[in-house]
């Protein structure tokens, strides 16, 4: 499966989410390739830290901020991997557009803030363009950096706003704003690997992994 975690809006936690999803899949024994499609190279830097510490499982990672190069490399190597996770976005870029054309699934994280919700319209336009080129792209929006509490008003309002953007399906597996995610990312780890363990963060990530990959498998 090829999964892109992307958004034209920065600051929504897409790199942290992409890293966690890639590691979670690798922990189940799958061969995973994480592609950093952002010029900042944050995902690549996190994987480098992981490699330097000797953490297992190892995560293969490459950085392709140029869309043409990203597309060529994925087309050449896609059969070598069980899963490819592409971290793309922060702005409209050639890498993001190439990733959308290649991907089976797009996961768009957004925070419960007005600017983040409005940015879904920009992503929706890119989804329409990608679907005009190829069939089969499924696009999901998920709350990331959500406010604590199951019934936080901003979370509920943001989730409801997704219904106004028909290009996306809303995933109820929200990731809340927890220090464990930033602590883990800074070490090149998933929250599933942290010690001591943050049970709530682990439960949220596990639920999201199951939602994203099981939906694709059963589609």
Instruction: Count the neighbouring beta carbons within 10 Å of the beta carbon of residue 16.
Output: 25
What is the rounded distance in angstroms from the CA atom of residue 204 to the CA atom of residue 219?
22
- Residue carrying the six token digits 């949220």: 204
pTM of full prediction above 0.85: yes
- Per the listing, tokens 């050449």 go with 76
Residue 5, both tokens: 């975690």
pLDDT band at 112 (very low <50, low <70, confident <90, very high): confident
Q: Average of pLDDT values for 82-106?
A: 94
> pLDDT category, 23, cuts 50, 70, 90?
very high
Tokens of 184: 């883990």
| Structure confidence at residue 218 (pLDDT) | 47
DSSP 118-155: HHHHHHHHHHHHHHHH-S--EEEEEE-SBPSSTT-HHH
> Taking the CB of residue 55, how many other CB atoms lie within 10 A of it?
17
CATH code of the domain made up of 2-218: 3.40.50.300
- Quickly tell me which residue has 């509920």 as its tokens: 156
- Looking up tokens 């190597």 gives 77
Instruction: Map tokens 């059963």 to a residue.
Output: 218
The arithmetic mean of pLDDT across residues 145-166, rounded, is 78
Judge whether 62 and 70 are in contact, CB under 8 Å: no
Among residues 146, 34, 15, which one has the least CA distance to residue 90?
A: 15
Please give the pLDDT value at position 214: 83
Tokens of 142: 């998920």
Buried b (16+ CB within 10 A) or exposed e, 113-126: beebbebbeebbeb
pLDDT band for position 215 (50/70/90)?
low
Beta pairing partners, 87: 5, 36
pLDDT of residue 119: 80
What's phi and psi for 177, nearest 5 deg?
Answer: -70, 100
Residue 204, SS3?
A: helix
Q: Where are the domains of the chain?
A: 2-218
């Amino acid at each position: 499966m090829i999964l892109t975690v992307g958004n034209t809006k920065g600051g929504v936690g897409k790199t942290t989410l992409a890293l966690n999803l890639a590691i979670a899949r690798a922990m189940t024994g799958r061969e995973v390739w994480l592609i950093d499609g952002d010029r900042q190279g944050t995902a690549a830097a996190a994987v480098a830290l992981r490699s330097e510490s000797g953490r297992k499982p190892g995560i293969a990672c490459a950085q392709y901020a140029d869309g043409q190069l990203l597309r060529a490399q994925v087309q050449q190597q896609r059969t070598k991997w069980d899963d490819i996770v592409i971290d793309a976005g922060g702005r409209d870029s050639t890498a993001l557009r190439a990733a959308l054309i290649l991907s089976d699934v797009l996961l768009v994280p957004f925070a419960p803030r007005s600017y983040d919700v409005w940015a879904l319209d920009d992503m929706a336009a890119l989804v329409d363009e990608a679907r005009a080129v190829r069939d089969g792209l499924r696009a999901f929006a998920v709350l990331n950096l959500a406010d604590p509490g199951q019934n936080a008003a901003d979370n509920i309002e943001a989730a409801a706003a997704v219904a106004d953007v028909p290009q996306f399906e809303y995933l109820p597996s929200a990731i809340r704003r927890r220090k464990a995610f930033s602590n883990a990312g800074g070490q090149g780890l998933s929250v599933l690997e942290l010690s001591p363990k943050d049970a709530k963060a682990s439960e949220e990530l596990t639920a999201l992994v199951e939602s994203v990959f099981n939906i694709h498998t059963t589609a």
